[in-house]
Chains A and B, each alone.
Chain A
Amino acid sequence: MSEKEVQELERVTICFAGDSGDGMQLTGSQFTNTTAGIGNDLNTLPDYPAEIRAPIGTTFGVSGFQIQFSSTDVHTPGDSPDVLIAMNPAALKVNLPNLKHNGIIIINTDSFQSRNLSLAGLESNPLEDGSLEAYQVFPVNVTELTREALKDMDLTVKIKDRCKNFFALGMTYWMFSRPMETTEHWLKEKFKNKDDLIKANTLALKAGFSYALSTEIFTTAYKVPKAAKKAGQYRNITGNQGIAFGLITAAKKAGRELFLGSYPITPASDILHELSKHRNFDVKTFQAEDEIAGVGAALGAVYAGSLGVTTTSGPGIALKSEFMGLAVMTELPLVIINIQRGGPSTGLPTKTEQSDLLQAFYGRNGESPIPIIAAAGPADCFNAAFEAARIALEFTTPVILLSDGYIANGTEPWLIPDVDKISEIHIKQPPTDEKYLPYKRDPERLSRLHALPGTPGLEHRIGGLEKEDITGNISYDPDNHDKMVRIRAEKIGRVNRFVDDPELVGKDHGDLLILSWGSTYGPILAAVEEVQKQGREVSWCHLRWLNPLPINLSRFIHNFKTVLIPEINLGQLLKIIRAEYLVDATGFNRVRGLPLRTSELLAEIDLILKGLE
């Protein structure tokens, strides 16, 4: 065995792809944990079909997991992979167009038989027809080698074949100089009391590693040094987990119980799953009979004194909107979380989109303002959820938190916060020694003081009918209604006085301002860093609160020749910005169910800057 070359790289993007039953999500998450553990920065994107078990071998049954890792900051899961692990022909066919020119492809040749080729709709075998000439191809008979590695074990062929993803994982561990311990440890936990499965998967992992080390096919291993991240303790976190943790923390810091009313829906269900585990935090999760019951129970819990939350995706919001109106009218602090997905209707349930912004703004009857906050990335979901709950409680208002399928399932390292340094949330209680006036307001925030059931002397009735200012009695008086409509709008308008302005990256004037929100943060940050590296000037502001818009925006938005708003929709923030600021902003819009690509954004920025020269 000759000594192999080790080449140092700054960043790598790998895509693990196979049939939806091949365990690619698991393989990807193991690679992610190991990569996080050795100190690389990273970002991941699982991409799986909506069908739970789509027909084997077909292109629509392909499940992929992409990870970008680096010795410097990573903001996206990567535009195009450098390395593709293709476990079958369909996985190759689906992911090849995305692969970098001259990229590496590791192929499980055992699955490239005529049946699988025809299931994937391939007329000839890519291993033989020259279609892969532009790439570095590593053909490996993964299935056979896995069976060989496990030949002494008394297991069925079916079970042995299920270990082949660990063989593939082992190869990538060698190739990118990763240790196997994290995964070995995980296997021991996962298959507690199932020693044969621990042994089989560990053997497959090690066999893959040794194969890559010893065979002549692989000539180079790569090393991606540790990233210089802020010091502290980290863990990997998905956006949905971040939201769950943020909510639990907000409830603790507000001295309230957390109540989640929810109906299962992709891609939001993982928040329900995560919160269901934490009964010992006084977390009450209620799997309701439908979306409406989910939000209704949450609102009931709010009325009774819990931090009430409902989680869903766009179609669920459509069903919840009447209750959201009731929360506006009764001015109760309800947190509504929309993990956006491709729409309209059922749309693309497992894919990402930012197309529910206008729904969040305007999707209710009447003048019905609700503050809207958007999370920028998986780790940011923690803060965004905490902030949404804080504003809801402090302003006695429903708040909408927008996330999306990409950051909900994607992961990145999360710097674990110091619990003691997270500020408390203070909720004002009405005095019990004077007549309770349900719609009397705090002069600063215009919030009302909600008397909780169980408080003697403060018995009162509220509901969806218009209320008289201060007393809260039912009122049909025209002038009172006009006044109340304006008060509700003014109250939400004041939220921006109590939240941080978003950061303006770059100068407050110039040729180009990029304005953005939500999960496009990563791809845009990567593009902006690249433009700045080239010595060109571009300013960027990423909005966190969308309703109300931040105070500082009006100070600089008119100072640029071009305002560019990249979104995964047909220009929803664009419409709002044009209407609010009378500025001739332009959009950059891709609605492919996937995160924006940094490279395409760069090309667009380049075009704009050249046009202005």
Chain B
Amino acid sequence: MEKTTKLTKEDFTSDQETRWCPGCGDYSILAQMKKVLPNLGISRENIVFVSGIGCSSRFPYYLETYGIHGIHGRAPVIASGIKLSRPDLKVFVITGDGDGLSIGGNHLIHLFRRNIDITIILFNNQIYGLTKGQYSPTSEKGKITKSSPYGSLENPFNPVQMALASGATFVARSIDRDPKHLAATLDRAARHKGTAFVEVYQNCNIFNDGAFIALTDAKQKKSHLLKMEHDKPFIFGENNENMLTWTGQKFSVISSDASENGHEILKHNENGSGPAMEFMLASLSHVDHLPTPIGIFRSIEIDTYDEMLTKQIEHAKKEKGDGDLKKLFTGGYTWMNN
């Protein structure tokens, strides 16, 4: 991926008309992606966007890169094939809560554990949009939708916990209405070596409007949203007056001045605070009267599958020499007929 002269967001805009509903949160994600892409220093031809099916999956059509719009839930496997075939390419997966967690859940967890160098952006609007409003695997229990007139009976998935548990090496969450945070998170994810996962809370203004209102509304968000920053304490509240602390059993909220009162200050460590802490952070939710965290839960580096595969090939060539068909054919037991 060679450096090129600095591209702009216009360079990454395709000639296709964008066809999301007016007011959809997807527009914001697309706009931030177009801001981030020129900064990566990767030329357009070396970038591939892969998607499945759903509103989010139209994303690749609107970017002037290579792109493939696949089938429902299967973007991670197409992307895996692309990256393993061509490790020189930068590969993104665009998916949603239905596409990535329901029909394609299996593929997502296996991509996480393999750690192939792919950046996954999951648009979570907690609803099925393209099929016009059924509950999704992230919809809250009891949700009334067209397919659940008496209320959904299902417990929702927590995508961040799923990614952490499956061994993803970069796990983050952001939100469509906070462009600055979103752009910074996308940028970090795109630069991560290994499988990077970003859950983006995204508002569907047609079928699930206001699902994240507590986290986006100017009046409420400061009390409900926790922006995690590396090596910084977990501070939130109208006037940053609250701080999270760990009692050994659970989180509790104390005054951000608590340090003066002798409390030990808990600081965020995105580079491996350990599965227990990461998992507990991911479990926090404003629904349960604790702030919902956004930011990076985990960012660690281990060998990627694609690098190891390349090494195996190099090793095999060194051991056995470059593949020679004649040797291959006559390698076993042969005989001559005269």
Interface residue from A278, A292, A293, A453 paired with B48 (Cβ < 8 Å): A453
Interface pick from B33-41, B141-149, B271-279, B317-325:
B317-325
Is B77 in contact with A280, judged by CB distance below 8 angstroms?
A: no
Is B329 in contact with A303, judged by CB distance below 8 angstroms?
A: no
Q: Please indicate the chain A residues that have their CB under 8 angstroms from the CB of B333 in the complex.
A: 33, 36-37, 182, 186, 235-236
With contact pairs A457-B45, A459-B66, A463-B69 given, residues A304 and B335 touching in the complex (Cβ less than 8 Å): no
Nearest CB of chain A from residue B4's CB, rounded to whole Å: 9
CB of A595 within 8 Å of the partner chain: no
Q: Please indicate the chain B residues that have their CB under 8 angstroms from the CB of A39 in the complex.
A: 335, 337
Is B85 in contact with A257, judged by CB distance below 8 angstroms?
A: yes
Q: Please indicate the chain A residues that have their CB under 8 angstroms from the CB of B328 in the complex.
A: 245, 248, 278, 281
Interface residue from B44, B68, B321 paired with A463 (Cβ < 8 Å): B68
Interface string of A465-481 (1 = CB under 8 A from B): 10000000110000000
Is A322 in contact with B66, judged by CB distance below 8 angstroms?
A: no
Is A230 in contact with B337, judged by CB distance below 8 angstroms?
A: yes
CB of B64 within 8 Å of the partner chain: yes
Is B65 in contact with A459, judged by CB distance below 8 angstroms?
A: yes
CB of A158 within 8 Å of the partner chain: no
Is A459 in contact with B44, judged by CB distance below 8 angstroms?
A: yes
Interface residues of B in 24-57 (CB under 8 A from A): 43-46, 48-51, 53
CB of B214 within 8 Å of the partner chain: no
Is B312 in contact with A279, judged by CB distance below 8 angstroms?
A: yes
With contact pairs A297-B77, A453-B66, A459-B45 given, residues A417 and B71 touching in the complex (Cβ less than 8 Å): no
Is B44 in contact with A301, judged by CB distance below 8 angstroms?
A: no
Is B85 in contact with A252, judged by CB distance below 8 angstroms?
A: no
With contact pairs A280-B313, A301-B84, A474-B61 given, residues A296 and B78 touching in the complex (Cβ less than 8 Å): yes
CB of A529 within 8 Å of the partner chain: no
Interface residues of A in 260-317 (CB under 8 A from B): 261, 278-284, 286, 288-290, 292-293, 296-306, 308
Interface residue from B51, B78, B313 paired with A300 (Cβ < 8 Å): B78
CB of A540 within 8 Å of the partner chain: no
CB of B309 within 8 Å of the partner chain: yes
**In the docked arrangement, what's the CA distance between A323 and B104, Å?**
13
Nearest B residue to A36 via CB reads: B335
Nearest CB of chain B from residue A383's CB, rounded to whole Å: 13
Nearest CB of chain B from residue A231's CB, rounded to whole Å: 5
With contact pairs A290-B106, A460-B66 given, residues A296 and B338 touching in the complex (Cβ less than 8 Å): no
Nearest CB of chain B from residue A280's CB, rounded to whole Å: 4
**In the docked arrangement, what's the CA distance between A182 and B77, Å?**
45
Is A473 in contact with B16, judged by CB distance below 8 angstroms?
A: yes
Is B70 in contact with A463, judged by CB distance below 8 angstroms?
A: yes
Q: Please indicate the chain B residues that have their CB under 8 angstroms from the CB of A323 in the complex.
A: 71, 74
Q: Please indicate the chain A residues that have their CB under 8 angstroms from the CB of B64 in the complex.
A: 459
Nearest A residue to B319 via CB reads: A280
Interface string of A221-257 (1 = CB under 8 A from B): 0000000011111111000000001001100100001
**In the docked arrangement, what's the CA distance between A465 and B61, Å?**
11
Is A235 in contact with B329, judged by CB distance below 8 angstroms?
A: yes
Is A465 in contact with B69, judged by CB distance below 8 angstroms?
A: yes
CB of B107 within 8 Å of the partner chain: yes
CB of A462 within 8 Å of the partner chain: yes
Is B334 in contact with A233, judged by CB distance below 8 angstroms?
A: yes
With contact pairs A282-B323, A417-B329 given, residues A233 and B336 touching in the complex (Cβ less than 8 Å): yes
**In the docked arrangement, what's the CA distance between A322 and B330, Å?**
39
Interface string of B75-101 (1 = CB under 8 A from A): 001111111111011000000000000
**In the docked arrangement, what's the CA distance between A304 and B306, Å?**
14
CB of B110 within 8 Å of the partner chain: yes
Nearest CB of chain A from residue B323's CB, rounded to whole Å: 3
Is A462 in contact with B68, judged by CB distance below 8 angstroms?
A: yes
Is A461 in contact with B107, judged by CB distance below 8 angstroms?
A: no
Is B45 in contact with A455, judged by CB distance below 8 angstroms?
A: yes
Is B85 in contact with A280, judged by CB distance below 8 angstroms?
A: no
CB of B332 within 8 Å of the partner chain: yes
CB of A419 within 8 Å of the partner chain: yes
Is A280 in contact with B321, judged by CB distance below 8 angstroms?
A: yes
With contact pairs A37-B333, A304-B81 given, residues A293 and B323 touching in the complex (Cβ less than 8 Å): no
CB of A330 within 8 Å of the partner chain: yes
CB of B60 within 8 Å of the partner chain: yes
CB of A145 within 8 Å of the partner chain: no
**In the docked arrangement, what's the CA distance between A301 and B89, Å?**
12
**In the docked arrangement, what's the CA distance between A302 and B82, Å?**
8
With contact pairs A245-B329, A453-B66, A461-B14 given, residues A303 and B334 touching in the complex (Cβ less than 8 Å): no
CB of B67 within 8 Å of the partner chain: yes
CB of B326 within 8 Å of the partner chain: yes
Q: Please indicate the chain A residues that have their CB under 8 angstroms from the CB of B67 in the complex.
A: 460-463
Q: Please indicate the chain A residues that have their CB under 8 angstroms from the CB of B69 in the complex.
A: 461-465
CB of B130 within 8 Å of the partner chain: no
Is A464 in contact with B71, judged by CB distance below 8 angstroms?
A: yes
CB of B316 within 8 Å of the partner chain: yes
CB of A454 within 8 Å of the partner chain: yes
Nearest CB of chain B from residue A284's CB, rounded to whole Å: 6
Is B68 in contact with A303, judged by CB distance below 8 angstroms?
A: yes
With contact pairs A279-B316, A454-B86, A454-B89 given, residues A289 and B110 touching in the complex (Cβ less than 8 Å): yes
**In the docked arrangement, what's the CA distance between A324 and B18, Å?**
28
Interface residues of B in 103-123 (CB under 8 A from A): 106-107, 110
Nearest CB of chain A from residue B284's CB, rounded to whole Å: 30
**In the docked arrangement, what's the CA distance between A606 and B100, Å?**
60
Q: Please indicate the chain A residues that have their CB under 8 angstroms from the CB of B77 in the complex.
A: 261, 288, 292-293, 296-297, 300
Is A326 in contact with B71, judged by CB distance below 8 angstroms?
A: yes
Interface residue from A232, A293, A456 paired with B110 (Cβ < 8 Å): A293
Is A416 in contact with B330, judged by CB distance below 8 angstroms?
A: yes
Interface residue from B51, B79, B83, B323 paired with A281 (Cβ < 8 Å): B323
**In the docked arrangement, what's the CA distance between A554 and B76, Å?**
46
Q: Please indicate the chain B residues that have their CB under 8 angstroms from the CB of A326 in the complex.
A: 70-71
**In the docked arrangement, what's the CA distance between A325 and B74, Å?**
13
Of B61, B316, B326, B328, which is in contact with the most chain A CB atoms at under 10 Å from its CB? Answer: B328
Nearest CB of chain A from residue B149's CB, rounded to whole Å: 30
Q: Please indicate the chain A residues that have their CB under 8 angstroms from the CB of B45 in the complex.
A: 453-459
Q: Please indicate the chain B residues that have their CB under 8 angstroms from the CB of A292 in the complex.
A: 74, 77, 107
Nearest CB of chain A from residue B64's CB, rounded to whole Å: 6
Is B66 in contact with A286, judged by CB distance below 8 angstroms?
A: no
Interface residue from B61, B107, B313, B338 paired with A289 (Cβ < 8 Å): B107
**In the docked arrangement, what's the CA distance between A316 and B110, Å?**
19
Is A233 in contact with B81, judged by CB distance below 8 angstroms?
A: no
Is A234 in contact with B74, judged by CB distance below 8 angstroms?
A: no
Is A235 in contact with B322, judged by CB distance below 8 angstroms?
A: no
A-binding residues in B (CB < 8 A): 14, 16, 43-46, 48-51, 53, 60-61, 64-72, 74, 77-86, 88-89, 106-107, 110, 309, 312-313, 315-317, 319-323, 325-326, 328-330, 332-338
The 4 residue pairs across chains A and B that have the minimum distance between CB atoms: A300-B81, A463-B69, A281-B323, A296-B77
Q: List 26 A-B contacts (CB under 8 A).
A: A182-B333, A230-B337, A235-B334, A236-B332, A236-B333, A259-B81, A278-B323, A280-B320, A282-B313, A292-B107, A296-B71, A296-B78, A300-B79, A300-B85, A302-B81, A303-B82, A304-B81, A305-B86, A326-B71, A456-B45, A459-B64, A460-B67, A461-B49, A463-B51, A464-B69, A474-B61
Excluding A278-B316, A459-B64, 12 further A-B contacts by CB distance (< 8 Å) are A36-B333, A182-B333, A257-B85, A278-B323, A279-B312, A300-B50, A300-B77, A416-B329, A455-B45, A459-B65, A461-B67, A465-B69
